[in-house]
Amino acid sequence: MVKPYVEAVSSIFKDAADYFPPGIFLAFATAFLVEGKYMKEFRMEFIGSLLMISFTFSAGKWIGSESMSTAWLSHFLGVIAADYFGGGPHVNPAVTLSMWALGHSNYTEAYVRVAAQMAGGLVAFPIFHVLSNVMNWTPFGGPEFTCDEDHPVEAFLSEFVATVLLLFLIYILNWEINFGSFHYWIKQSLTAVGIRALIEFFPTAGPAMNPMLATAWNVFGVGTTFEFPSEMEHYFVYWVGPAIGALLASVCYVIYAGGTIFGTTLPIGPIRRKKEKKE
């Protein structure tokens, strides 16, 4: 008598599992690490990633599809809105890696943040794809490239350089310049402009400048497998490239401003002189 019920539950579970993004349960499980100590960071990254994809990927698709200036303005406002309403999350594994390297977060917090970012991306793309179908809107696009002999190298270099420049922009606007009472709005506006400029200048790999965006998009937007990408070129371009870029940018910043890399003091720097305190 029990067997038919077990078979029914198994069938329901199997049918339901087809609608769940791959790896989503493991991603959400990280929110409870260290007795939920980093639940706030998980929530910020998850919500921030959802908002970032919604606000920035809709530019040129749902908003401004016939006007480049409207699309750029929508992307500009989307970057600011995602950060403001998300509470200031990283929404980018490469940025999180840099913050860990520079000592602004520990390993566990960084791990939780990246898992939350992935969860946000894996949830966002299928939701907005369904919404596009229901509302008959233009589906979102995403970062991808053609795998041939030379292109992965070019795509790797594109993501690497773009990530380094993105982090330099983040360091300068957040730590080196203060715009006074309107600091947040000015630095976020300049960040939005900088991101848009990098998208235009480094188009080879999409671009992503964000490993989460590339992989989450690949799961639902490239082909119909609904699985994590199997080609190693994908991880080489979108994860290894930005990771090395993040580490290089972090080292450069420590050489300039001082500090440590993973708790280790570098033998050179800092270049910037400390301001002398007035007596």
> What dotted CATH number matches 19-257?
1.20.1080.10
What sign does the CA torsion over 146, 149, 155, 160 have? positive
Q: Is the pTM of this model over 0.85?
A: yes
Q: How far apart are CA 84 and CA 117, in angstroms?
A: 16
Question: Tens-of-pLDDT digits for all 279 residues of the chain?
Answer: 677 767 666 666 665 556 678 889 999 999 999 999 999 999 999 999 999 998 888 887 888 777 878 888 888 888 898 899 888 999 999 999 999 999 999 999 999 999 999 999 999 988 888 888 888 888 888 888 876 655 788 999 999 999 999 999 999 999 999 999 999 999 999 999 999 899 989 988 888 999 999 999 998 876 657 889 888 999 999 999 999 999 999 999 999 999 999 999 999 989 987 655 454
Give the residue carrying structure tokens 């989307």.
78
Q: How far apart are CA 255 and CA 266, in angstroms?
A: 7
Per-domain boundaries in the chain: 19-257
Burial string for 31-69 (b: 16+ CB within 10 Å, else e) reads bebeeeebeebbebbbbbbbbbbbbbbbbbbbbbeeeee
